[in-house]
Chains A and B, each alone.
Chain A
């Protein structure tokens, strides 16, 4: 197991799904985890309780990442708890919207970009004073950034932007010894994605994948923990596909 004892981590959108699995994986490896949520306070509390029960350290932090100043507020909370050093940032919080080109509204697109692109961008900016040599940032991109799957054009564009940010941030922050990577999951069975739970969704998913099962959040969380760890210290600027071999 990758050893993260003594490390501090912030996982955004950690009350459910991939964020929750990432928070649990980081805590299992020994990190102190700040479990961010926006509206699911109860679920976040349950994640914190689960970590503490296993002997780990965790706290929940609330912030609305739809708001322009949300990342700034969250960074302030984080500085207040971990002080001058944040070792791991998992910028996972995201929203999705299935809509055809015709049905996509200006509001939909603005909101998708606000949460999926603007928020992680300014979260990194605001956390920079606490990120230092050896810190690792992990973004969550998506299969939808690389391939046209479902009616996800606007969502896919936000995740393409994330993969682009990874390259620029990695290049700019390499000098300071900060690494920046992303995971790109395919279809995962989570609250956000009801798709995999329908028979049609399941069949389509298995049809485009090399591995013939539907991903669970754990399948992604372990990879996030690896990228966050020192084992991955020479990996930066990369988006790692964790999609069971989708659309190869």
Chain B
């Protein structure tokens, strides 16, 4: 029996990059998986197909993480489809890399709405259904703790907020046997932060392992936090950054 057999997971922002890798990995570990996506329906459906091809169960739900109604709807639809909810991965996120003084208020709002407000709303909706053994997992960021490059001011502020949200919430739901943790990736090769290009040079140099990480390497940590071996870890910020913050 796999580690997550009979469990149901919802991964927000699950159509691409880290989220898609997390969805596939949780499905490979035995969970039925719902993913949300904002725009790219065909990317989302290819994640679902890949999971189904492997013998797993998955659905894709259109829900922009900035739209609280849609986020709540995604939780409801997950429970309606699979009958329960055990693991919520708050992965949907965005960054608008530019200097702080050039960042407009609208851009700041967008980053805050998706990375913070969306995470809080999804978690609140999910908690209604979560039972003993439930797992709430954030995709935070290594820049929620230390910032080594300019251009990520608003983004890192939101990831700092996610970090304290994790710590605070773990206190409120611990007595129900639900854990809350924050997985903090460093530079990971995705569309949002490709390993090739000028932007990547200083990030790669800052890691101890001297390379970008792969999405699977983040998914492996999320799977561990979702699984039974991590049952005593809660309120923790787990960094997976090739030693960037060391």
A residues near B, CB below 8 A? 1, 166-168, 170-171, 173-175, 177, 179, 209-212, 215, 219-220, 222-223, 225-226, 231-238, 240-245, 248
Contact = CB atoms under 8 A, between A and B. Distances in A.
Given A174-B207, A236-B243, A238-B238, A245 B229 contact: no
Nearest to B236: A241
B242 interface: yes
Given A238-B239, A245-B170, A219 B232 contact: yes
A226 B239 CA distance: 14
Contacts of B144: none
Which of A234, A237, A242 gathers most chain B CB within 10 Å?
A234
Contacts of B245: 237-238
A236 B242 contact: yes
Nearest to A215: B232
A243 B238 CA distance: 13
Contacts of A235: 221, 238-241
A211 B246 contact: no
Contact of B175 (A212, A219, A237): A212
Contacts of B3: 1
A174 B170 contact: no
Interface stretch (B68-76, B112-120, B210-218): B210-218
Interface residues of B, number: 41
B56 interface: no
Given A235-B221, A238-B240, 5 more contacts: A210-B173, A219-B232, A232-B240, A237-B241, A248-B167
Given A210-B170, A234-B218, A241 B233 contact: yes
Contacts of A248: 167-168, 170-171, 235
A185 to B, nearest CB: 8
Contact of B243 (A174, A222, A226, A231): A174
Contact of A231 (B207, B220, B238, B244): B220
Interface string B99-113: 000000000000000
A234 B210 contact: no
B143 to A, nearest CB: 15
A160 to B, nearest CB: 16
